[in-house]
Amino acid sequence: MKRIEVLKTYKIYIGGKFPRTESGRFYEATNASGRSIANMCKSSRKDIRNAVVAARKAQGAWQERTAFNRGQILYRIAEILEGRKSQFIEELMLQDSTKKAAQIEVNDCIDRIVYYAGWCDKFNQVASSVNPVSSSHFNFSSYEPTGLVGIISPESSSLFGLVSMLLPVISGGNSCVLIASESKPLCAVTLAEVLNTSDVPPGVVNILTGQVSELWSPLSSHMDVNAISICSRSAYIKDIQIASADNLKRVRTYDDEWDVQGGQGIQYITDFQELKTTWHPIENIGGSSSSY
Amino acid sequence: MTKTNDFNAVPRSPSIDKVGVEERVARFQSRSIKNDSKMQGLHMVLNMIDLTTLEGKDTPGKVRQMCFKAAHLHDSYPDLPTVAAVCVYPSMVRLAKSIVGDFGIKVASVSTAFPSGQAPMNVKISDTKYAVEHGADEIDMVISRGKFLSGEFSFVFDEISAIKEVCGDARLKVILETGELSTLDNVRKASDIAMYAGADFIKTSTGKIQPAATMQVTYTMLQAIRDFYDETGVMVGMKPAGGISNAKLALHNLVMVKEVLGQEWLTNQWFRFGASSLANDVLMQILKTDTGAYQSADYFTID
């Protein structure tokens, strides 16, 4: 008798758990030739609500961790991903990638994670500054995470774009709610499984699948979301900017195609940081001289 | 008909079918509530809250802040009700009364060596007297759970009667501390004793012990109130306290009250929520329903 293959159920990722969407709906993900490759959760606004609650709960503790520890955890993601490479390559190939391109993409992702793991305990001292002022103060500016970031992944990329947008956000101490590519959602859920097994605290990253056309609105109008990260080919940029105005969310727009060389850097981290300046009273104006 | 104050009048309590209670409670949670009713329900919930602070670290400043919140839940949103009452320790009653008295908000005081109730009778009496003299409109007393569990039901009955006498015009809420009573049968028994001894309200918990106001426990107590009303014609109020921290759960409770006791109980005269963080969640739900945008705790007062 011919054995029937057991197909994987792709579920969403909220607060370190893998629930089905609250709405019970699903949609079929297809490849370029229209063949069905998986059933995906079609998340609703209530899933956004639950994900934001989970992300808010996790954010404080994630920010409070030492930057060094965050770096270790991010590095752990890369390690686990390395061990599950073949699964990601298979999924990329299901979604119309060639084998060679898939291998390169997964390797690039791992490198990107390691890159941002390294920045965790370094970006603040590189980007911060001591400022010259004309009063008796030692004046310095340093970065603190914006808080809770909503990420809408680029439609064209299953994994690399998502990783390029996710990593700078969490390396800086933010938590996030991420909406996966609607047409290429497979790797996002498998990445959630990697995150879940690599010491990333529950709720720091939450991943939803479904239609961006119905999810952008509850996400960008949510008063408890502090910033939105989105790509320039999205049809909803203007709407999102308008909806974001109510609580002054930062909206950052990036290229859909993430460059392997130029698509990473400290500026992607500081995009989701708030600059805090401190005026510390001292005796002498020359705060940085030997008399200080 | 009047209440009789005789321990021998307390009827034998029926035993509780736990599985049946759980099934009934599950059904209350599956009602579909449409937006209009939801809004009305949420406003009702706000108006039924006993805003509570019962910490060893309570200061006059903390009580003042809470009393202000009781009267001004969210001033930027029009036509919100105030809460029903503030609930404090006896030492804070006079202060609380001086702030919320003008708004028609009641002051409830816990008493009888709250939360343990482990003190001699004369101390409990003077504790209660002190609160009443300082202007408490309501007294939240605790029963002696130790005595109850060792079978001294008449002691518990007499204790409640004695405190009721001291209360005078103040309404008496009797806290059963159901988390320490172990079984629903005990909850039912304690409810019956309290009501026959003269309680104006029965209340689930102090908020210091988990589990507190589960729907199973509240349902059992509501059913006891129903039976008491059918027997004597006297209405008794219900106050679940502790653990009701979100609007959804509060609405489920209202559904349960309506279906077990009926419309007459759906006012703050007969039903209260003892809570400290419920108000903000309800406010956030009201604003969400109104604006369509999910809300953030950043824009509401800290409680």
- Across the range A214-234, mean pLDDT stands at 96
Q: Which residues lie below 8 Å from residue B210, measured CB to CB, with a gap of 6+? A: B179, B242, B243
- Name the 3-class secondary structure at B294: coil
pLDDT in tens, B214-263: 999 999 999 999 999 999 999 999 999 998 989 999 999 999 999 999 99
Token readout for A119 is 């920045």
State yes or no: is B140 an active-site residue: yes
- pLDDT of B303 > 80? The answer is no
Indicate the SS3 state at residue A233.
coil
Integer angstrom CA distances of residue B97 from B48, B72, B206? 18, 16, 21
In chain B, the residue whose alpha carbon lies closest to the alpha carbon of A221 is B293
Question: Cα–Cα distance between B303 and B300 in angstroms, integer?
Answer: 9
Q: Read off the pLDDT of residues B116-141 as tens digits, 9 standing for 90 and up.
A: 999 999 999 999 999 999 999 999 99
The interface predicted TM-score of the complex, written ipTM, equals 0.84
Q: What are phi and psi of B249, to 5 degrees?
A: -65, -40
Shortest CA distance from A225: residue in chain B: B296
Where do the domains of chain B lie, and which CATH numbers do they carry?
A: 18-299 (3.20.20.70)
pLDDT score, position B2: 45
In the prediction, which pLDDT does B276 show?
A: 86
Ranges of each domain in chain A: 26-280
Least Cα separation, residue A264 to chain B (angstroms): 32
B203 is catalytic: yes
Nearest CA in chain B to A45: B294
- Kindly state whether B77 is in contact with chain A, defined as any CB-CB distance less than 8 angstroms: no
Mean pLDDT of A174-188: 96
A247/B296 Cβ within 8 A: yes
Distance, CA of B160 to CA of B137 (rounded, Å): 17
**pLDDT > 50? residue A244:** yes
Catalytic residue among B50, B140, B192, B200: B140
Question: Hey, which bits of A90-219 come out as E strands?
Answer: 129-131, 137-145, 148-152, 175-179, 205-208
Are the C-beta atoms of residues A264 and A165 closer than 8 Å to each other? no
| pLDDT, tens only, A51-79 | 999 999 999 999 999 999 999 999 999 99
Is there a contact between B15 and B185 (Cβ–Cβ < 8 Å)? yes
Write the DSSP assignment of B249-284 as a string of letters.
HHHHHHHHHHHHT-GGG-STTTB-EEESSHHHHHHH
Q: What dotted CATH number matches A26-280?
A: 3.40.605.10
Distance of alpha carbon B10 from alpha carbon A210, whole angstroms? 60
pLDDT score, position A286: 53
CA–CA gap between residue B293 and residue B261 (Å, rounded)? 35
The answer to whether residue A287 scores a pLDDT higher than 60 is: no
Work out the mean pLDDT of chain B and round it to a whole number: 94
Distance spanning both ends of chain A, measured CA to CA: 83
CB-CB neighbors (< 8 A) of A243 in chain B:
293
Rounded mean pLDDT, B84-97? 96
**Mean pLDDT, rounded, of chain A:** 94
* pLDDT tens digits, B167-184: 999 999 999 999 999 999
Which whole number is the average pLDDT over A239-244? 96
Indicate if B239 belongs to the active site. Answer: yes
Distance from CA of residue A193 to its chain's centroid?
15
